[in-house]
Amino acid sequence: MKKTLKLTLFLFVGWILGGCASHENFVKTYNSWVGQNIRTFTSQVGYPDSTYKLSNGNEVYVYEKTRVYSTPTITPAFRYGTWGYYGGIGMGYGTDINYESCKLFLEVNKKGTIVRWGSRGNSCRI
């Protein structure tokens, strides 16, 4: 029993740290693009989903990624039957709907240089 608990705890900690590392890679990657030309970026990544102008004359390139998926679930359920059977524990079936999104914002000055970036969402990782 102790071995199973230790293994479960070890795997859980590894899973948590793995999630942090992938977001850390995301940050490192886009930090390295600051100071680079937007044409180089678009030639490697592709065109943005949208753009807009700021009041200071800079332009913001917006890249969006969304994913909606479902996963089946099996949960314990209390049930009240008929035919003389009352109560008991059974299994219930359903689905969980999962939504992942990431918006990447690249601010570009008039010379075409990426001056800063930002992101929003629960799935911004590489």
Q: Residue 119: is its pLDDT beyond 60?
A: yes
Q: Which residue has the higher pLDDT, 119 or 6?
A: 119
How many separate domains does the chain show?
1
In this prediction, residue 7 has a pLDDT band, given cuts at 50, 70 and 90, of very low
Contact 30, 104 (CB under 8 A): yes
CB atoms near residue 41 (< 10 Å): 19
Whole-model pTM: value is 0.68
- Asked if residue 19 belongs to a domain, the reply is yes
Give the pLDDT score at 6. Answer: 46
Over residues 19-69, the pLDDT tens digits come to 454 889 999 999 999 999 999 999 999 999 999 999 999 999 999 999 998
- Domain, as residue range, for 116: 2-121
Region of residue 38 (phi > 0: left; psi between -120 and 50: alpha; otherwise: beta): alpha
- Asked if residue 126 belongs to a domain, the reply is no
